[in-house]
Amino acid sequence: MIIDRARSSTPLRVLRFLGLAASLTLAAPVQSAEQVLYANAAVIDGTGSAARAGQDILVDGERIVAVGARGSFDAQVTSARRVDLSGRFVIPGLIDSHVHLATPPNRTRAEAILRRQLYGGVTAVRDMADDLRSVGELARASLVGEIAAPDIYYAALMAGPPFFEDPRVLSVSRGFTPGTAPWMQAIDDKTDLRIAVAMARGTSASAIKIYADMPAARAKAITAEAHRQKMMIWAHSAIFPARPAEVIAAGADVISHVCYLAYEAQPKMLGAYEDRTPVDENLLAKTGDDPVVARLYTAMRKHGTILDATGSLFVKFEAARKADPKAKPLRCSGARTIQLTQQAWRAGIPISTGTDYVDPAGDAWPEVHRELRYLAHDVGMPPLDVIHSATLVGARAAGREKDMGSIEPGKLANFVVLTADPLADIDNIERIEMTVKRGRQYPRADFTPLTKKEMGDDD
């Protein structure tokens, strides 16, 4: 069981740090089951700052107590267990900002996916609407260490009534009339939003996801009430018929799918999410920055909106669909998705690393690695910026930047130990020696590959 050490008494051995050099940044002292000194690593802290060689990281229980130059703590800490990381590189735990773990619920499959994520360096995920009865139990089991899994933060969904004819709704809300489950609510002009948001909040969701089939005024009203009740808003970047500009103006904290931003250039907006007519890419600039999208990015900077781009989704599945002449096209081409993401990066928009798909059992690494490679190789972001996106920006997207996303005193001890430099080559993200989550070590050598049976692919 994880203890709330922030309320515990201060151990004498931690008080000794008060005598350390002023150049060291220290967290508030905390009670500890064990102190661990991770010594002599090159630290890429997730803030966007340059790597620092020869760093020691002192962990007390589940939190980082101090970070400083090699040997800074040797005289003051004699009882800490020492882990020599000479020649290693440490980055914050990765965050996948767009997953679905329970559509429909399947505990065995979900645990397998989560195991692959954790042993692949992912220490937190943002679940973007599922059966929250199942997701809540997975989140609890992860938090207390019953299963090997990242921490899970999740959303309750709200959409217009037409969406609730979608067969996925029934699969995640059995026992309720579609649209009436607290985590999956149909919203119209008669809905009491104070009650609807309170019901969503009662699921322990971190946010409300505004999904589809909703006019701009209703999206704005939901956002205002959610923020009043201290919940975030995670939204599709177009809600149909609400345009991207209206979603941004409504005050969404995070918007998903960079592709959908291109609908802003359409003279007539699609009236419903169910109309999957692709973006008319001829309406967008052929080269360089598109002026319509540029106005969206200006508004996002003003509002502090985070972009959950999910770019690798469109690149990956466009290739698959081209091989199948019967497959319907995606809303955007892979090339246009890359251009839109490049423009977002140039515009200074914070981009998180969401995926929104699950790879088969045979894949040894989590899906978010593909999103990192997409940002580095396709979009052209420097690896330092990619790591910032996959860590601190992801933590902000989940509303958890005070606890995670960077290697700093006071934050959770969530980090990944690599045997090769990810700044030299982002592909070195797969040179994992161990993942540390809430102070607990998960050596990559202990990873058990997923099986087809676990994933339900054994027919």
- The domain spans of the chain are 5-91+411-444, 94-397
Tell me what pLDDT residue 324 has: 84
Tell me what pLDDT residue 458 has: 67
Determine the residue type at 131.
Answer: D
CA distances (Å), origin 290, targets 252, 257, 335, 339, 372: 22, 17, 14, 9, 24
Is 62:438 a contact under the CB 8 Å cutoff? yes
Q: How far apart are CA 2 and CA 109, in angstroms?
A: 25
Is 340:314 a contact under the CB 8 Å cutoff? no
Residue 261: closest CA among 276, 277, 275, 247: 247
Determine the residue type at 310.
Answer: T
The phi, psi pair for 212, rounded to 5°, reads -165, 165
Beta-carbon contacts of 286 under 8 Å, excluding residues fewer than 6 positions away, are: none
The phi, psi pair for 306, rounded to 5°, reads -90, 145
Dig out the tokens for 398 from the structure.
């989940």
How many Å separate Cα 116 from the centre of its chain? 15
302 - beta bridge partners? none
Is 42:88 a contact under the CB 8 Å cutoff? yes
The phi, psi pair for 249, rounded to 5°, reads -65, -30
Q: How far apart are CA 10 and CA 19, in angstroms?
A: 15
CATH number of 5-91+411-444: 3.40.50.300, 3.40.30.10, 3.40.640.10, 2.30.40.10? Answer: 2.30.40.10
Tell me what pLDDT residue 15 has: 32
- Cα angle at 217 between 211 and 218, to 5 degrees? 45
SS3 of residue 49 by DSSP: coil
Q: What is the pLDDT along the chain (459 residues), one digit of tens a residue?
A: 333 333 333 333 333 333 333 334 444 444 446 899 999 999 999 999 999 999 999 999 999 999 999 999 988 888 999 999 999 999 999 999 999 999 999 999 999 999 999 999 999 999 999 999 999 999 999 999 999 999 999 999 999 999 999 888 989 999 999 999 999 999 999 999 999 999 999 999 999 999 999 999 999 999 999 999 999 999 999 999 999 999 999 999 999 999 999 999 999 999 999 999 999 999 999 999 999 999 999 999 999 999 999 999 999 998 888 888 788 889 999 999 999 999 999 999 999 999 999 999 999 999 999 999 999 999 999 999 999 999 999 999 999 999 999 999 999 999 999 999 999 999 999 999 999 999 999 999 999 999 999 999 865
Determine the residue type at 212.
Answer: A
Superfamily of domain 94-397: Metal-dependent hydrolases (3.20.20.140)
* Topology agreement, domain 5-91+411-444 and domain 94-397: no
Tell me what pLDDT residue 417 has: 99
